[in-house]
Amino acid sequence: MAKLYFRYGAMGSSKTANAIMVQYNYQERGQNALMLKPQLDNRDGERVVGSRSGLSAPCRFVEELDAIDLSAYDCIIVDEAQFLKKEQVRRLVDIVDGMNIPVICYGLRADFMGNLFEGSHWLMAWADTIEEIKTVCWCGRKATMNARVAGGKVVKAGEQIVLGGNESYVALCRKHWARGELAPLEIRRIAAGKESYLPLLLEADPSEAMIAGYLEGGELYVLLVNGQTAGAAVLAAREDGAMELKNLAVAKDMRGRGYGAKLLNHIVKLCAPRGDRLYVGTSPKNVAFYEKFGFVKDYVVEGFFAEHYAEPIVEDGVVLTDMIYMVRRL
């Protein structure tokens, strides 16, 4: 007999990646798995499920179920199932019991205030199998709560669903959610929404065009201090196989506290298994900083700043022309 599954987890517990993997497993066995998600009012109607890790897959909307011939499918997978309405969960139950098609739902259990979502409520009530997908809080305890973060602070009141807002969500254990305590210091890789860090990256590299050239293909890491973005770094692979630090920026009001060093040490550690050298292109002012981390001057790209930047870059009263490449053995 087919079953209705509810697999719930906090933000960042790889629910969407799991959903995509299950679909892939069906396809590998020569079977069809239909990927669905609820369509939220006002949300741009993209028929795609996407995960924080960067994986994505095409999908249909739950609202389109009537127009889909389900007899062709061996399984139905629903992402973002917390947003389902009661009638939609009821419909999924009917598909399981009436057509004998398994339905696997992935979603959050509770919202940022700790209340069940409508979809989660009815899935908890009616699913045959309820499974938890675990993830951890910054303290190492199991994360069960989803904190809404705005301006570096945990927010406890507001609309359950905010569309197109600037807030972000982070998984916390119940204690740290209740106290509104974010990680004292953590480094995260950002896969989606990289462009929102542009103002910070511009502090280390004043050309938007240059940043655009390496941000999309590069790896963006951000340093968060109590939920506030203190710094960012962009790492990329070079054509010669070595790694290159393309940008290392510390927010103006966060400077002089060792955050640049923290980020750089982290980048060096990340690069170690991936090549034997880490390069950085920089200007005279920063040479001493990088020397402290084992970098040595390697070569100079003459006229780099003069050629690639529309506005002259002035550093300590001198217009920059050449870029100094420094290298560190890994």
Does 148 bind Zn ion (CB under 5 A)? Our answer is no
- What track of x and - describes contact with Zn ion for positions 95 through 134 (by CB under 5 A)? ----------------------------------------
Q: How many residues bind Zn ion (CB under 5 A)?
A: 5
Task: Give the torsion through C-alpha atoms of 164, 168, 171, 173, to 10 deg.
Answer: -120
Does 267 bind Zn ion (CB under 5 A)? Our answer is no
Q: Considering beta carbons, is residue 170 or 326 the nearer one to Zn ion?
A: 170
Q: Considering beta carbons, is residue 114 or 213 the nearer one to Zn ion?
A: 114
Crossing angle of helices 118-126 and 86-99, in 10° steps, is 30
Contacting range for Zn ion; rule: CB under 5 A; set: 148-156, 169-177, 306-314, 319-327: 169-177
Strands (E), the chain: 4-8, 33-37, 48-50, 56-58, 60-61, 75-78, 103-107, 129-132, 145-150, 153-155, 168-172, 186-190, 219-225, 228-237, 243-250, 277-282, 296-301, 314-315, 318-319, 323-329
80 as an active site residue: the answer is yes
Interface residue with Zn ion among 176, 194, 246, 328 (CB under 5 A) is 176
Token pair for 22: 């299950």
Q: What is the DSSP letter of 142?
A: B
Contacting range for Zn ion; rule: CB under 5 A; set: 122-130, 170-178, 187-195, 244-252: 170-178
**Least distance in Å: CB of 183 to Zn ion?**
9
Please give the biggest Cα pair distance in the chain.
77
Interface residue with Zn ion among 173, 182, 230, 248 (CB under 5 A) is 173
**Least distance in Å: CB of 171 to Zn ion?**
9
Contacting range for Zn ion; rule: CB under 5 A; set: 20-28, 139-147, 263-271, 296-304: 139-147
Interface residue with Zn ion among 139, 212, 272, 296 (CB under 5 A) is 139
Let me know: does 196 contact 217? Beta carbons within 8 Å. Answer: no
* 270-to-28, 235, 236, 275, 278 alpha-carbon distances in Å: 33, 10, 12, 10, 10
Task: Determine the Cα–Cα distance for residues 111 and 287; give it in Å rounded to an integer.
Answer: 47
**Least distance in Å: CB of 174 to Zn ion?**
8
> Exactly one of 46, 64, 80, 186 is catalytic; which is it?
80
Half-sphere exposure of 146 (CA within 13 A, CB side): 23
Q: Taking Cα atoms as reference points, which of 37, 43, 173, 166 lies closest to residue 114?
A: 173
Does 137 bind Zn ion (CB under 5 A)? Our answer is yes
**Least distance in Å: CB of 246 to Zn ion?**
33
Let me know: does 293 contact 265? Beta carbons within 8 Å. Answer: yes
Compute how many other C-beta atoms are within 10 angstroms of the C-beta atom of residue 24: 12
**Least distance in Å: CB of 226 to Zn ion?**
13
**Least distance in Å: CB of 181 to Zn ion?**
7
Cite the active site residues. Answer: 80
Residues near Zn ion (CB under 5 A) are 137, 139, 141, 173, 176
